[in-house]
Amino acid sequence: MPVSASHSLYGLDPGIPLHGQRVLIVDDNTFNRRTLTRFLTWAGIRRVDAVTETDEIMAALETVNPDMVVIDCDMAGLDGIALCRRLRDDRRWRDLPVVMQTGLPSDQFRAVCFQAGATDIIGKPVNPGECIARVRYHLERRQLIHELRGFRERVERELMQARDMQLALVPETAHVAAVGERHAMWIDAAFRSSDEIGGDFWSLFELDGERLAVFVADFSGHGITAAINAFRLHTLLLRLAPTDMADPAALLTLLNQRLKEILPVGQFATAFYGIIDRATGLLTYSAAGAPNPILGTGGGFRPLDASGFLLGAFYEAAFENHVVPFSRGESLFLYSDGLSEAQDMFGCMMGEDGLLNLVADAARRNHARPLPCLLDTVASRYGDRLHDDLTAVWITRR
């Protein structure tokens, strides 16, 4: 019995449209079905189906695929509680609103119903106002949850795509290995994106046959914003001339100005840019408030000073070069704060000292290429679910 869209019970606001929603009634009493169908129609629901035999219920759920099921517990041969439990045990119907109908339900019966997973209980005889309000409440809520879920799934897909794009920004394993061969170095790198995606970025640049440059950066914040900033940096680096890449401090000064022009206040990157020159046996580097890289020599491991103005934060920032010997057999370990700020199960942060210990320990077990061993230890002690991106690059001169 169609009703005009403007119709509403007691002149109340009918609420958001529910035209597309389907309700399945499980009831063998013709009068009850008619009454309920009429109320549902008043509630703005146009698609009502009914089941009158208990053995048809599951098949009807499949064919109708309802947004709500209304079960009459007084139906002959039907155990409404058992049916409710059965629906809740099935992944497909776990979230389906299940409304139970029964004459004069006791408090104990209500409690058992709710424990079995019923969404709501309507006593008989059914009052139209209450019935419509309850049905609408559950259907509206379901619709909102569906919309939210859809939105969330979309955002997650976008984040996944952004993460894949970010992974494609950094050098591939085969390329890293080939560069290492050309420059007589073992180079191992790990680049992992957190669930939230962050702004990590790293790259290698072969300046000539003797000089290899490595760039590591980490943008503040998380999410798409940080990832987009990593892309911006990548684009800036691609546009630079080879002469811009030859002086670390000059490069950071240039990047600082370019980034300051485009970044909102409060966004910046920490960065490290170093050039390993095999002809002179020196590492020349400049840094922008990055985690301190770890230099491995015959005398053990020590942090290098990577303090410096945050990249893209202040126009007036100036950067300086540091020069340290980097001979054959020595190693340089670069990493993002996603590693050093990792927390164990007790909320205890690794910190720089903790990392130094782990690095020394890994190098004892595998002198030339300790990175896989180091990351295994980190995963076992700090878990492999990251709260932030993780970049780790280990370079050993052969």
Partner 1 sequence: MDYRVSKNAEAPDTTVVYLSGRMTFADHETFRGVIAAFDGPAGQRMIFDLSELAFIDSSGLGMFIIARDTAQKRGLEFSIRAARDEVKRLITVAKFHRMFDITD
**What residue type is 267 in one-letter code?**
Q
How is residue 347 annotated by DSSP?
S
Q: Between residues 47 and 387, which has the closer beta carbon with respect to partner 1?
A: 387
Tokens of 249: 């401090």
Q: Say whether residue 349 binds partner 1 (CB under 8 A).
A: yes
List the one residue from 201, 202, 309, 333 that touches partner 1 (CB under 8 A).
Answer: 309
**Strand partners of residue 52:** none
CA 220/CA 159 separation, integer angstroms: 17
Give the contact letters, 170-209, x = binds to partner 1 (CB under 8 A), - = no.
----------------------------------------
Q: Say whether residue 151 binds partner 1 (CB under 8 A).
A: no
First to last CA, the chain: 85
List the one residue from 103, 351, 372, 383 that touches partner 1 (CB under 8 A).
Answer: 351
Tell the burial category of 5 from Cβ atoms under 10 Å away from its Cβ (0-12, 13-18, 19+): exposed
Q: Say whether residue 74 binds partner 1 (CB under 8 A).
A: no
**CA 80, 85, 88, 89 torsion-angle sign:** negative
Q: Between residues 241 and 265, which has the closer beta carbon with respect to partner 1?
A: 265
Stretch that binds partner 1, among 9-17, 149-157, 262-270, 277-285 (CB under 8 A): 262-270
How is residue 343 annotated by DSSP?
B
CA dihedral 309, 300, 204, 186 (to 10 degrees): -170
| Separation in Å, CA 309 to CA 63, 68, 264, 322, 332 | 64, 59, 16, 15, 22
**What residue type is 51 in one-letter code?**
V
Asked if residues 174 and 156 have their Cβ atoms less than 8 Å apart, the reply is: no
CA 278/CA 183 separation, integer angstroms: 8
Report in angstroms how near the CB of residue 44 gets to partner 1 at its nearest: 37
Q: Residues with Cβ < 8 Å from 388, sequence gap 6 or more?
A: 194, 196, 198, 222, 336, 337, 338, 341
Q: Say whether residue 266 binds partner 1 (CB under 8 A).
A: yes
State whether residue 383 is helix, strand or coil: coil
Q: Say whether residue 271 binds partner 1 (CB under 8 A).
A: no
Q: Between residues 97 and 308, which has the closer beta carbon with respect to partner 1?
A: 308
Stretch that binds partner 1, among 152-160, 254-262, 301-309, 374-382 (CB under 8 A): 301-309
DSSP-assigned letters across all residues of 352-363: HHHHHHHHHHHH
Report in angstroms how near the CB of residue 387 gets to partner 1 at its nearest: 9
Stretch that binds partner 1, among 47-55, 108-116, 142-150, 310-318 (CB under 8 A): 310-318
Report in angstroms how near the CB of residue 276 gets to partner 1 at its nearest: 23
Stretch that binds partner 1, among 75-83, 112-120, 145-153, 264-272 (CB under 8 A): 264-272
Q: What is the size of the binding site for partner 1 (CB under 8 A)?
A: 22
Stretch that binds partner 1, among 29-37, 45-53, 135-143, 220-228 (CB under 8 A): 220-228
Q: Say whether residue 220 binds partner 1 (CB under 8 A).
A: yes
Q: Say whether residue 341 binds partner 1 (CB under 8 A).
A: yes
Q: Say whether residue 302 binds partner 1 (CB under 8 A).
A: no
Which chain residues interact with partner 1 by CB under 8 A?
218, 220-222, 265-268, 270, 289, 292, 306-310, 313-314, 337, 341, 349, 351
